[in-house]
């Protein structure tokens, strides 16, 4: 009888360890689409704003990689083929999910830099779960001014929000490490 109890206990522990190992090796795969610029100012789409918008995706990918996420690369041509116009993927989670499924992503982040003023802009993101095409995260982070350091800080803020929805293991870099972290 004592042997049966020990055997059941060992089987239980073995099953528990299997589930723990599955959780450790299950990595979250996220695709980040190129951010679109929605510039409502009197001088829209100036080269510096276009450059800032283009910098967001690689900055966000780097932060999410640091947090342990697998970044799924979706090329510009594939994104363009699924996009019926400016803002289409941002507004259509089902289509973004189909694009993510094609590249075996678990999640797709569709982003926009919304600039209503010269003084500030909003970094916006929609996080779509590919398995059921549901919008599971709607994020907005404010950037005051076009300064590159502020853009990086805003990307870090967005990363914190995304990570809270997913795995909750991201820690933004400390101020002393940010000097090496800033892309020039």
**What's 82's domain CATH number?**
3.40.50.10070
pLDDT at 170: 86
Quickly count: other Cβ atoms within 10 Å of residue 105's Cβ: 25
Structural domain contains residue 162: yes
Residue 21 lies in a domain: no
Structure tokens at 140: 């907005």
- The pLDDT assigned to 184 comes to 40
- For residue 16, is it within any domain? no
Q: What angle do CA 112, 58, 47 make, to 5 degrees?
A: 60
**Domain containing residue 66:** 27-181
- The H or E element containing residue 119 is none
Answer yes or no: is 5 within a domain: no
Is residue 94 one of the residues assigned to a domain? yes
Number of domains within the chain: 1
Question: What does the pLDDT read at residue 65?
Answer: 95
pLDDT of residue 2: 67
The answer as to whether 9 is a domain residue is no
Inter-residue long-range contacts of 137-146, CB under 8 Å, 24+ positions, other chains counted: 137/161, 137/162, 137/165, 144/119, 144/120, 145/119, 145/120, 146/48, 146/49, 146/52, 146/121
Residue 22 lies in a domain: no
pLDDT by residue for the chain (184 residues), tens digit each? 566 666 666 666 666 565 554 444 469 999 999 999 999 999 998 999 999 999 999 999 999 999 999 999 999 999 999 988 888 999 999 999 999 999 999 999 999 999 999 899 999 999 999 999 999 999 999 998 878 888 999 999 999 999 999 988 888 887 755 545 444 4
Which residue reads 């853009």 in tokens?
A: 151
State the pTM of this model.
0.80
Does residue 134 form part of some domain? yes
């Amino acid at each position: 009888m004592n042997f049966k109890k020990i055997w059941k206990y060992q089987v239980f522990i073995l099953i528990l360890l299997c589930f723990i190992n599955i959780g450790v090796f299950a990595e979250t795969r996220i695709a980040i689409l190129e951010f679109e610029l929605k510039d409502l100012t009197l001088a829209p789409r100036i080269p510096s704003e276009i450059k800032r918008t283009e910098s967001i995706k690689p900055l966000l990918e780097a932060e999410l990689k640091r947090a342990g996420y697998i970044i799924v690369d979706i090329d510009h041509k594939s994104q363009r083929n699924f996009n019926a116009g400016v803002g289409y993927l941002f507004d259509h989670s089902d289509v973004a999910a189909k694009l993510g499924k094609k590249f075996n992503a678990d999640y797709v982040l569709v982003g926009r830099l919304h600039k209503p003023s010269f003084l500030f802009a909003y970094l916006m993101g929609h996080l779509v779960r590919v398995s059921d095409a549901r919008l599971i995260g709607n994020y907005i982070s404010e950037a005051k001014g076009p300064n590159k350091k502020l853009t990086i800080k805003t990307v870090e803020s967005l990363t914190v929000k995304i990570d809270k929805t997913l795995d909750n293991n991201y820690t933004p870099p400390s101020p002393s490490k940010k000097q090496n972290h800033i892309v020039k």
